[in-house]
Amino acid sequence: MPSNGRQLTLPIWNEGEGPAADSGNPSHNGDDSAECGNDESGLIQGVLWPELAENVVVREEEQIMEHRLETETETEGRAGESGNEQDLEALKAACHVCDRCVLQATCTHVVFGEGNPEAKIMFVGEGPGREEDKQGRPFVGAAGQLLDKILASVGLTRDEVYITNVVKCRPPKNRMPNPDEIAACSPYLDAQIKRIDPSIIVCLGALATRTLIDKNAKITRIRGEWHEKDGILYMPTFHPAALLRDPSKKRPVWEDMKKVKEAFQNLQA
Ligand code: SF4
């Protein structure tokens, strides 16, 4: 997409800060081979994703949830909040008491997501890590601090975007969420996207990419390429935690983020 001429400089996060791989996020403790570019893993390719192909049950549950949310929103409207904010607050309230999968039993806090309810750009990661679980906020560990720098490098702030994850509760020992957990939590992400109605979604890492773009996608192959679905532009890129482990991924992510910024500016033009 054409640039508007604004000069984007090599970001501060290229300067080798970088706590070690223990970012507190699930993909982020060195056990997510997909994030390391090794997404040919039998675990992901052969086990995780085929089960998500046809998920009629989830669709039915989503409809039930939608009805519940509509009811809650009608009865719990708060003065001074937009319809989007009220809808998101109702969704968040439902998420905080959710027991649709086993992750609820072991997490400290449900991490729903945060940011601008009218955001034109959403960032979707994998799931809460240790620090996120502790604070109840997305991307607040080392990977989150790097995400802040990535945003700043292209002139964005958290206030302008919305940040969430595929699953809202931390998997024990930062393991990869399993297919049942992803399917159980997907209605929340779908509902967030529906309410925020972003123009651009940045998929941070392999799990978000496969959940939102293509269940067979390989992040190393499609990273940096735009994908359009239902009027939304999707940009897959590496998870910030992958950059902490492998600084050579910083430049490709920066290139991807420049494309995101340009698309954002074109939307505003
Ligand atoms: S991970 Fe999602 S589906 Fe599972 S308990 Fe938490 S909010 Fe509910």
Q: Is 233 left (phi over 0), alpha (psi -120 to 50) or beta?
A: beta
Domain extent, residue 217, equals 20-74+81-268
pLDDT digit string (tens) for 112-162? 999 999 999 999 999 999 999 999 999 999 999 999 999 999 999 999 999
| Ligand 1 atom with the shortest distance to the CA of 95 | 7
Is position 13 within any domain?
no
d(CA 155, CA 194): 26
pLDDT digit string (tens) for 77-126? 455 666 777 889 999 999 999 999 999 999 999 999 999 999 999 999 99
Q: Is the CB of 182 under 6 A from ligand 1?
A: no
Task: Copy the structure tokens of residue 32.
Answer: 């997510």
What is the Å distance from ligand 1's center to 238 Cα?
24
Q: Is the CB of 181 under 6 A from ligand 1?
A: yes
**Parallel, antiparallel, or unpaired: how do β-strands 232-237 and 200-204 relate?**
parallel
DSSP class of residue 169? S
Which residue's CA is minimally distant from atom 3 of ligand 1? 185
pLDDT at 85: 79
Q: What pTM did the predictor assign?
A: 0.76
Q: Is 8 left (phi over 0), alpha (psi -120 to 50) or beta?
A: beta
Q: Is the CB of 166 under 6 A from ligand 1?
A: no
Is position 92 within any domain?
yes
Is-contact 151 116, C-beta < 8 A?
Answer: no
Is position 11 within any domain?
no
Task: Copy the structure tokens of residue 174.
Answer: 């930062």
Q: Is the CB of 28 under 6 A from ligand 1?
A: no
Is position 1 within any domain?
no
pLDDT digit string (tens) for 29-78? 333 333 433 333 333 333 332 332 344 344 555 555 655 555 444 444 45
Is position 256 within any domain?
yes
Q: Give the relative orientation of helices 142-153 and 250-268 as an angle to the nearest 10 degrees.
A: 50
Is position 94 within any domain?
yes
DSSP class of residue 185? H
CA atoms 78, 84, 87, 90: torsion sign = negative
pLDDT at 127: 97
The model's confidence at residue 269, banded by pLDDT at 50, 70 and 90, is: confident
Supply the CATH number for residue 34's domain.
3.40.470.10
What is the Å distance from ligand 1's center to 170 Cα?
9
Is-contact 207 181, C-beta < 8 A?
Answer: no
pLDDT at 68: 57
Domain count, the chain: 1
pLDDT digit string (tens) for 184-240? 999 999 999 999 999 999 999 999 999 999 999 999 999 999 999 999 999 999 999
Is position 6 within any domain?
no
Is position 2 within any domain?
no
Q: Give the relative orientation of helices 83-96 and 179-196 as an angle to the nearest 10 degrees.
A: 160
Residue from 24, 36, 25, 7 nearest 243 by CA: 36
| Ligand 1 atom with the shortest distance to the CA of 99 | 5
Which amino acid appears at position 17 of this protein? E
| Ligand 1 atom with the shortest distance to the CA of 112 | 7
Q: Is the CB of 110 under 6 A from ligand 1?
A: yes
